[in-house]
Amino acid sequence: MFLEIYNSFRMEMNSGTILGYFLQAVPITIVVGILYAVCRLVFLKQRNGNIAWMSETMRLLFVCYLTGLCSLVILPIGFWLDIFDGIFFGWWEEMVPLFKLGEINLMPIIVKCLSGEYSLGSWVKEMIIGNVLMFIPFGFFLPFVTEKLNSKNVFAMAAAVPIIVELFQLILGRSFDIDDLICNFLGIIIGFFIAVGIKAIRRTTSK
């Protein structure tokens, strides 16, 4: 039964599309989300404190988002598909090495566009979908899960996170890309200030 279900999704998972990569990350995201929810609930029960359900829901969603994000942008492309193939078909020998030095690109795309090497239109579409929009939820969740960030120190955090991500990508066979750093930074900042604006509106409305 499980093999049939997996086969029905495997073709899309292996399509190389955004939906395919998303489907690869869904199972591990669900597992991590359930484990976190159970552990967090036990922890809160032991403290005998009142549970702020809205805050805890945001924390859970943030954990699920981070799991999916790491699966999509840090781990080697197709990593979870290889894991699933190993579990269901025993194809462990076909797994790509987990650790492999990737490429480094320190030349901004605008330089390549000016030289005619790259089309600005295709780059904008790729970067907005893959690197800006993907990191907006990261910044959006932050004001709801921590009070330590503000409009001043969030810029340092928004710069540090993409650098850490790119370094992991480099040692896991992907690439360290200067354009990814810029776009990830923008995504986090945009998401953060959207959340700050929403919280400010809620405070004003409640008064």
Structure confidence by residue, pLDDT tens digits, 93-147: 878 777 788 888 887 776 666 666 666 666 666 666 678 899 999 999 999 998 8
pLDDT band (50, 70, 90) for residue 207: low
Q: What pLDDT does 130 receive?
A: 74
How far apart, in Å, are the Cα atoms of 31 and each of 7, 166, 176? 20, 25, 29
Q: What pLDDT does 126 receive?
A: 66
Q: With pLDDT > 70 as the criterion, what percentage of the chain qualifies?
A: 88
Name the residue with higher pLDDT: 184 or 125.
184
Contact 98, 64 (CB under 8 A): no
Average confidence (pLDDT) over 178-186: 90
Q: Which of 57, 63, 71 is nearest to 27 (CA)?
A: 71
Q: What pLDDT does 91 receive?
A: 83
pLDDT digits (tens, 9 = 90+) for 15-56: 888 788 888 999 999 999 999 999 999 998 888 777 888 889
pLDDT band (50, 70, 90) for residue 185: very high
